[in-house]
């Protein structure tokens, strides 16, 4: 079980890279060699980010993408939502329908409580925070 999908992770790393110097056009090829990620998948990911308004695109030769927002304005939580859909740990749904027995499930209630704490923290986390972490070493 994993909280983060690869797509989300790739997106974060691409954005982190581009945030190093914004306004510069970065191509998929560049990201591939720089981060070692599979090109076609990266491409799809970037296209999604563009459609969602996080990146501007430059078509044609020497084209690529540029970052559209301030790192502090990009919440990891939002990226997760884009790539993984609605984030919820405690909604027992199956085939897109809510489980009929939610009401008699004390476990759900507890998990919901924990979820709340987690989401609180996730929603506060931005790309800017990650950049700080990066600079701090590791």
Partner DNA sequence: GACAAATGATACCACGATGGTATCATTAAG
Partner DNA sequence: CTTAATGATACCATCGTGGTATCATTTGTC
Shortest Cβ 46–ligand FES spacing (Å): 15
Identify the residue among 101, 135, 136, 137 touching ligand FES (CB under 6 A). Answer: 101
DSSP H or E segment with residue 98:
strand 97-98
By C-beta, is 40 or 117 nearer to its own copies? 117
Contact range with ligand FES by CB under 6 A, out of 15-23, 97-105, 110-118, 123-131: 97-105
Contact range with DNA by CB under 7 A, out of 44-52, 71-79, 112-120, 129-137: 44-52
Q: What is the DSSP string of 47-75?
A: HHHHHTTSEEEE-STT-EEEE-S-GGG-B
Secondary structure (3-state) at 94: strand
CA nearest to 31, candidates 70, 66, 6: 66
Other CB atoms closer than 10 Å to residue 24's CB: what's the count? Answer: 12
Instruction: List interacting residues with its own copies (CB under 8 A).
Output: 1-4, 6, 9, 12-13, 16, 35-36, 76, 84-85, 87-94, 100-101, 103-107, 109-111, 114-115, 117-118, 121-122, 125, 129-131, 133-134, 138
């Amino acid at each position: 079980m994993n909280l983060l999908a690869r797509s989300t992770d790739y997106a974060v790393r691409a954005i982190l890279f581009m945030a190093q110097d914004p306004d510069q056009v970065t191509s998929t090829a560049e990201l591939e060699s720089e981060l070692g990620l599979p090109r076609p998948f990266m491409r799809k990911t970037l296209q999604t980010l563009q459609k969602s308004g996080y990146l501007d695109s430059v078509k044609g030769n020497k084209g690529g993408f540029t970052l559209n927002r301030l790192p502090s304005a990009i919440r990891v939580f939002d990226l997760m939502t884009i790539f993984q859909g609605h984030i919820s740990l405690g909604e027992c749904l199956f085939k897109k329908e809510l489980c009929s027995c939610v009401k008699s499930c004390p476990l759900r209630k507890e998990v919901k409580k924990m979820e709340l704490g987690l989401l609180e923290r996730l929603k506060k986390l931005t790309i800017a925070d990650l950049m700080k972490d990066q600079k701090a070493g590791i």
